Amino acid sequence: MDYIPSIGLEVHVQLRTRSKLFCGCGTRYGAEPNSQVCPVCLGYPGTLPVVNREAVRLTVVTGLMVGSEISPYSKFDRKSYFYPDMPKNFQISQYDRPLCLGGAVAIDVEGASRPIPLKRIHLEEDTAKNTHFEGFSGVDFNRAGVPLMEIVSEPEMHSPEEAFAFLQALKEILLYAGVSDCNLEQGNVRCDVNCSVRPAGSKALGVKTEIKNRNTFREVLHALRHEIARQVGVLEAGGAVGQETLRWDVAAGVTVGMRSKEYAHDYRYFPEPDLLPVALPRAWVEDWRAALPEPPRARRARLAREYGLPEYDAGVLTADPRSADFFEAAARLSPNPKAVSNWIMTEMQRLLAERSLAPSDARITPRALADLVALVDGGTLGSTGAREVFAVLFAEGGDPARIVAERGMAQVSDAGEMGALADRVIAENEAAAADYRKGKQAALQRLVGQVMRLSGGRANPRVVAGLLRERLK
Amino acid sequence: MTSEEGRGADAAAIDVAYVARLARIDLTPEEQARFQRQLDEVVAYVRKIREPDTSGIEPTAHAVAVRNVFRDDAPRPGLDRGEVMANAPAVVQGLFRVPQIVE
């Protein structure tokens, strides 16, 4: 029998603010444990939270990017639970009046585009970070109170690949809107996954399980593949899937039940009396809407159209708005946008990945890249030399023409100098020369290689091949 | 979130045994009975608030008619670490040491 999975995601995104959601403590990652805390985020009695306006703005901007309705009236609620990472014994979140309702994220799977509808987007505070030791745990409150935006999708993804595509599309939108750094290694994006399966043809959704707290998209993909197969196996064997919360064991590649489920959750939501409701003035929302950036999908289509790029190039370049910005700045200065795109997609991405750098860390300027393309197109630089110059520009910056001049890297096309080398190579390689004269084309390449070697790699191989052919007629 | 998660706020009475379990507080049977009696009295007293006719009055989440109180996103120094950790029962590598947390 065929089974249809239904997958819903709850994505927690750390917003890009300088201070926490309800107090002025900093949000810098990697600070000494418990060094960015105060009585508010430590949950001391008698303290009062005050909402960070920027966190509200970033949440609303996200909602506007995905077409949510912005609530005219929103409030905060207490979500009660008892855990060492939450010293107040409640988390300030939003229950029935989130900042944003509805909206959708469009995904592309197997060539077709489909909007995945969203339920809501709300704002809440992060909890402290737990570290586990043998027999005890340690708690660092630096993360407690950091603003988290929770984006909840409808359960309308039907394969692990669609869930993966959703997360990638969402990340692009968040990066474009500048609302989060989306640094997965630093846990900026964490994901709870709901999943059920039902027999094809059946209308009612199956019993769902929840997989908690995944922080890479690959983990979501792998956990879902495993969990869907597990649920189908249970149903095929005549069993029933139990509603439970699971943990993905990365090392073992299996989902396991979480023991905390022994206590059924009863969050006892109620309005946070220490915070006042939010009723955003229309003018603010309209100002924010007017300042929205071009969405990634629109930009992808525009890059393909305006610069004549293949869809593939446009997709790679727009995955990170900083790459797309760099491309556009360079392409506007160059008559050959495709060559500019090639450099960014290959050498630049490779060097950035090798050194774990962000596009803004590279020293090369758009002007320098455009000039480099011109040097190649004009025949001054060959491909090997160009890569060398690019590496220098990437690490140190500078002007490509000057680098070429300083290092004597310009290709030599001068017939006199190259002709002398060609004569010498023919004299020293009689066998190869004879082979070529007998019609062996491959022999010519050997001779070209020799001339290149003697020129220290500076010879223009096309010119050399022509000179050799002339001499071997 | 499901509807039963929010039921506590609307429950007519307080189930002390249940709440104690959620809060991980061990109560003796005598304490449980005493708190149950006391809390029932408190709830009965507060229940007076149901007497006025509130039909036609819009529910509110707050007693103060003020909205949109925000602060600027400006970081400022928090507490000194020594002061922070002074209240910790035990410290390990700069962290609050707590009983093992199980997932």
Q: Which of B24, B67, B102 sits opposite A259 (nearest CB)?
A: B102
Inform me whether the pLDDT recorded for B7 exceeds 60: no
Q: What is the pLDDT of residue A109?
A: 82
Domain boundary among A259, A286, A313: A286
Q: What is the pLDDT of residue B101?
A: 78
Instruction: Say yes or no: A60 and A79 in one domain.
Output: yes
The confidence band for A263, taking pLDDT boundaries of 50, 70 and 90, is low
The per-residue DSSP string of A432-443 comes to HHHHHHTT-HHH
The confidence band for A443, taking pLDDT boundaries of 50, 70 and 90, is confident
Query: Which is nearest to A323 in space by CA: A287, A369, A355?
Result: A369
* Residue-averaged pLDDT of chain A: 90
User: DSSP character for B57?
Assistant: S
The H or E element that residue A288 is part of is helix A282-290
Instruction: Say yes or no: A242 and A301 in one domain.
Output: no
Domain boundary among A406, A432, A460: A406
ipTM more than 0.85?
A: no
Residue of A nearest to B19 (CA): A266
Inform me whether the pLDDT recorded for A451 exceeds 80: yes
Count of domains observed in chain B = 1
Interface contact B22, partner A, CB < 8 A: yes
Which domain CATH number covers A421? 1.10.10.410
Over the stretch A312-370, which tens digit does the pLDDT of each residue have? 999 999 988 899 999 999 999 999 999 999 999 999 999 998 988 887 788 999 999 99
Count of domains observed in chain A = 3
Over the stretch A60-100, which tens digit does the pLDDT of each residue have? 999 999 999 999 999 999 998 888 888 898 999 999 999 99
- Crossing angle of helices A461-471 and A441-454, in 10° steps, is 120
Helix (H, G, I), strand (E, B), or coil: what is residue A56?
Answer: helix
Over the stretch A2-33, which tens digit does the pLDDT of each residue have? 999 999 999 999 999 999 999 999 999 989 99
Question: Which are the contacts of A448, defined by CB distance < 8 A and separation ≥ 6?
Answer: A461, A464, A465, A468
B51 or A251: which leads in pLDDT: B51
Work out the minimum CA distance from A364 to partner chain B, whole angstroms: 33
Helix (H, G, I), strand (E, B), or coil: what is residue A405?
Answer: helix
Query: Which is nearest to A92 in space by CA: A50, A124, A136?
Result: A124
The confidence band for A466, taking pLDDT boundaries of 50, 70 and 90, is confident
Q: Which of A53, A132, A273 sits opposite B101 (nearest CB)?
A: A132
Q: What is the pLDDT of residue A259?
A: 54
Over the stretch A88-142, which tens digit does the pLDDT of each residue have? 989 999 999 999 999 999 998 887 889 999 999 999 999 999 999 999 999 999 9
User: DSSP character for A245?
Assistant: E
Subunit contact A266:B7, Cβ cutoff 8 A: yes
Q: Is residue B65 part of a domain?
A: no
Collect all residues of chain B within an 8 Å Cβ-Cβ radius of residue A263.
Answer: 21-22
Test the A interface: residue of B71, B76, B83, B97 with most A CBs within 10 Å: B71
Q: Is residue B94 part of a domain?
A: no
Inform me whether the pLDDT recorded for A209 exceeds 80: yes
- Exposed / middle / buried, residue A203 (Cβ in 10 Å: 0-12, 13-18, 19+): exposed
The confidence band for B103, taking pLDDT boundaries of 50, 70 and 90, is low
Question: Which are the contacts of A52, defined by CB distance < 8 A and separation ≥ 6?
Answer: A17, A19, A20, A21, A22, A147, B70, B71, B72, B73
Instruction: Say yes or no: A184 and A243 in one domain.
Output: yes
The H or E element that residue A123 is part of is strand A112-125
Q: What Rg, from alpha-carbon coordinates, does chain B have?
A: 21
Evaluate whether A192 touches A209 at the Cβ level (below 8 Å).
Answer: no
Instruction: Say yes or no: A401 and A419 in one domain.
Output: no
Range list of H helices, B1-103 = 16-22, 29-46, 81-86
Q: What is the pLDDT of residue B35?
A: 94
Instruction: Say yes or no: A235 and A125 in one domain.
Output: yes
